[in-house]
Amino acid sequence: MLKLVKKYRNIKFFMGHSIYGEWDAAAQCVHENGNVYLELTAIPGVRGIIEKLVQAVGSEHILYGTDMPWFDEYQAVGGVVSAKITEDDMQNILYRNAQRLLGIDF
């Protein structure tokens, strides 16, 4: 991923599952190119990872995801709202970042 991120700097990358288990590598990709976003599918069940990712890359680069119907959307939302992050971070993750990326102005 890091090679692709460096080569294609004008593309927005969405890293599914935030490269599950490779949290530092995922953060490095975000730092190498501001157009990389980490998606949270499968992550809310792992305690402390949302907090770690927010601290590492900022909530502006994290997107809510569920992978329905295989993962329960309630678990995904619960993982975000129960994380020890600010309300502002939660709103970024749950909807603001998607709005910004899609060009939706509410």
Report the C-alpha gap between 52 and 88 in whole angstroms. 16
Cα–Cα nearest to 13, from 25, 22, 21, 4: 4
Q: pTM for the complete prediction? A: 0.90
Chain position carrying tokens 């953060």:
27
Say which CATH superfamily domain 2-102 falls into: Metal-dependent hydrolases (3.20.20.140)
pLDDT, block means (10 residues), the chain with 106 residues? 87 89 91 91 83 96 88 84 96 96 85
